[in-house]
Amino acid sequence: MALVGRVLTVECPCAGTPHEADTITFRPVMPLAGGVAGMAAIAAGAQALGANFSSIQLAEYVFPVYLAHAIEAWTFTGADGAPVPLTDGDAVLPFGVKYAIADAADDLFGEEISRPLVAMISRSYPSGPTASSTSPNRSSGRRRRPRSAPSSPATSGATGP
Ligand SMILES: [Zn+2]
């Protein structure tokens, strides 16, 4: 699987494997509805997950937005040989393929979507550096530290898989 420009190539997952490979072409730009949906998804994810979330947890919120908004065309076909409509992708394609598509979309559009959100956040939480020009010792300014590990409910016998 490889992303070249706006085109992702994947192993053919179609019924009967009729293709040597399939390609997914992403839109040249993220549509407004998709970008705003992505921002909202990131914000909702960050709020629900708290400070110490992982990117895979955030993906739960954001990746479906990519599948719905970031794709311009693909070559997948159904059992009858007819093209799979873009709107049917989630119902038809194997998870691994959808994940690869969303992951590639994140490479293409992730920063674009999160940039306005980051700007919004830094506006509502202004941080120190410009606060006071007469501050005598700026270097010793208090620094907010991420809270140490939250007291997670004891998971008895937590021996990971
Ligand atoms: Zn195929």
Give the pLDDT of residue 126.
64
Residue 153 has pLDDT above 80, yes or no: no
How remote is the CA of residue 84 from the centroid of ligand 1, in Å?
A: 10
Sorting pLDDT into bands at 50, 70 and 90, what band is 136? very low
Q: How confident is the model at residue 161 (pLDDT cuts 50, 70, 90)?
A: low
Q: What is the mean pLDDT of residues 115-140?
A: 61
Distance from the CA of 13 to the center of ligand 1, in angstroms?
A: 5
Nearest to 90 by CA among 111, 112, 69: 69
Q: Which residues pair with 26 in a beta bridge?
A: 71
